[in-house]
Amino acid sequence: MKTEQKISDDVVIEETRRAGQYRRRRIDLWEKWARDGTITEDMYLTAVKFANVFEAAHLRERYAISTASLDRVDGSKGDSDRVSARVVDAREAVVEAMALLGRSMGPVMWDVLGSGLSLRAHVEKQAGVTRVTVHEARGRLIAGLDLLARSWA
């Protein structure tokens, strides 16, 4: 069982997997939103699930939405036997989610929930591609969470 102690609005101390060891952790954006009532519990659980699936797919810090790019994201030369079934399943789930989210909500979900960027960093990254404000990105992220919460149930 995890125990947490709040230090500030954005930082908590929590117990690690090893009993008796603690670490300081900055809370995630979606964790803060759930606490503040901005998103529902289902949307929060969806955010956690997406982040976990994204991590299992070994896609962090890579922006390759197309299925062809996801096939070789691990650096292999096409030898798919080396990629575990868990990674393949996770990549398929990410591809499915990105297809559902589309070009509007997909990039913000990828950057913020998947790669762990802030909303502001996502907006800066998108500056050359599309003109998006932080408020628009926030709305797209919330809408994407709502859409995934209803479809990933």
* Per-residue model confidence as pLDDT tens digits over 51-90: 999 999 888 655 444 444 444 444 444 445 556 888 899 9
Q: Quick count: other Cβ atoms within 10 Å of Cβ 148?
A: 23
Query: Containing domain of residue 62, as a range?
Result: 39-151
Nearest to 110 by CA among 42, 64, 79: 64
In-domain check, residue 34: no
According to the model, what pLDDT value does residue 108 have? 95
Q: Are residues 144 and 87 in the same domain?
A: yes
Q: Are residues 66 and 141 in the same domain?
A: yes
SS3 21: coil
Continuous segment of H or E residues that includes residue 24: strand 22-26
According to the model, what pLDDT value does residue 120 have? 93
In-domain check, residue 120: yes
In-domain check, residue 101: yes
Q: Are residues 66 and 90 in the same domain?
A: yes
According to the model, what pLDDT value does residue 58 have? 84
Which is higher by pLDDT, 9 or 20? 20
Q: Are residues 63 and 7 in the same domain?
A: no
| Residues contacting residue 131 through CB under 8 Å, at least 6 positions apart | none
Number of domains the chain contains: 2
